[in-house]
């Protein structure tokens, strides 16, 4: 049976929401970061603008702005920390959440009397960078999902099955069996992989094989499900169905690539785990 995309559409909706969420958080965090930078004493001294932006009580404005960016911009990472700890597998989210939380709470203590330096601007810029990175990552995941949906759309909804009496019956693809014969009219999508039994035509396989020119087909020629028939009617004998078809295998490969973690990501998660443990023990 051809891969169904109903569950994937739900995932696509979730990914679109996540992309929008990270995008919104990033741009709002960037806007809040600007006054944080301008109110930070070390930045003021470095840029020579202390006389322009320093005023009595500015540290408390800095505290309010930084609290907002920590709670709003840093919230996805705090949620990620809770999720990873619940699974007893600290990873990248834990590392980020520990870093921003340490910078924030230490700086808050300094604001209210603890001797030391504030790290609000470092907190803000770190959150900005992490939000940007996750926004880009979610967009990549969404792009892979869209590619999967486009592959699914290549398959027609039904096939014209030739009966033993010569009549044609339209049936869903799930009802096709090996060695069935199907009629493919000009301009229609070929319903499944098979061999041409009658007729001659040219077939557009560009979406599947990358071949830019239509491929000539005649009796004994192989055709691929999802490709587009050209100018002639052909009769195709079904040789592959369901998960064995070329398109279904491509869809499955894309699906696995989208859902599985790469070796680089696994390595990054293991590194994040050790960095988190080292930071906590330090």
Q: How many CB atoms lie within 10 A of CB 232?
A: 15
* Count of beta carbons in the 10 Å neighbourhood of residue 86: 8
Find where tokens 């064995």 sit: 244
Q: Could you give the C-alpha distances from 99 to 216, 221, 280, in angstroms and in order?
A: 61, 62, 10
pLDDT in tens, 228-257: 999 999 999 999 988 888 888 887 777 776
Locate the domains of the chain by residue range: 6-152+263-281, 158-244
Question: Is CATH 2.70.150.10 what the domain over 158-244 is classified as, yes or no?
Answer: yes
Per-residue pLDDT tens over the stretch 92-137: 888 889 889 999 999 999 999 899 889 999 899 999 998 998 888 7
| pTM, 2 dp | 0.60
């Amino acid at each position: 049976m051809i891969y169904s995309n109903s569950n994937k559409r739900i995932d696509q909706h979730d990914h679109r929401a996540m992309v929008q969420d990270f995008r919104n958080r990033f741009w709002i965090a960037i806007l809040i970061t600007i006054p944080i930078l301008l109110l930070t004493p070390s930045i003021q001294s470095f840029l020579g603008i202390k006389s322009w932006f320093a005023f009595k009580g500015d540290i408390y404005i800095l505290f309010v702005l930084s609290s907002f960016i920590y709670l709003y911009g840093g919230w996805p990472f705090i949620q990620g920390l809770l999720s990873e700890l619940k699974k007893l597998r600290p990873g990248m989210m834990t590392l980020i959440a520990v870093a921003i939380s340490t910078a924030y709470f230490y700086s808050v203590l300094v604001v209210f009397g603890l001797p030391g330096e504030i790290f609000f601007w470092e907190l803000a810029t770190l959150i900005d960078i992490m939000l940007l990175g996750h926004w880009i990552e979610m967009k990549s995941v969404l792009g892979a999902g869209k590619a999967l949906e486009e592959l699914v759309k290549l398959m027609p909804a039904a096939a014209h099955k030739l009966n033993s009496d010569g009549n044609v019956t339209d049936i869903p693809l799930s009802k096709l069996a090996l060695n069935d014969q199907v009629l493919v009219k000009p301009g229609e999508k070929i319903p499944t992989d098979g061999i041409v039994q009658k007729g001659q035509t040219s077939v557009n396989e560009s979406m599947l094989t990358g071949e830019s020119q239509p491929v000539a087909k005649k009796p004994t020629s192989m055709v691929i499900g999802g490709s587009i028939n050209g100018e002639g009617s052909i009769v195709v004998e079904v040789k592959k169905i369901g998960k064995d078809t070329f398109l279904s295998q491509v869809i499955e490969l894309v699906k696995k690539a989208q859902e599985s973690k790469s070796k680089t990501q696994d390595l990054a998660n293991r590194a994040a785990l050790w960095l988190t443990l080292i930071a906590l023990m330090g």
